Amino acid sequence: MVGILIALSINNWNEDRKEEILELEYLERIITDLKADTRYFNRQIVECNEVMDLSYQYIHKAYEEQKSKEDYIELIELFTDRTENLVV
């Protein structure tokens, strides 16, 4: 009977140890994911700030500087490649 109790205790200890290792792995993955997400969103913030600056320039040119067809084309080209970032 004592042998069975010792075996159960060892088994429980081993299962607890496995759970602790698994928990640490999960926490490490969460930290890695959070760091990657933080880097991604920081880049998105920078890009969105650039888009906001371009938006200001666009509005300024649309209301104050547009005087010819070339000005209109320049105005349209200002946003051809950056508007996707506004989704974020």
What's the rounded mean pLDDT across residues 52-57?
Answer: 82
Residue with more model confidence, 35 or 77? 35
- At 42 the pLDDT is 93
- What does pTM read for this prediction? 0.56
Q: Is the pLDDT of residue 66 over 90?
A: no
Share of the chain above pLDDT 70, in %: 85
**Alpha helices (H) in 1-88, listed in sequence order:** 2-60, 69-77
Instruction: Give the integer Cα–Cα distance in Å for 68 and 29.
Output: 56
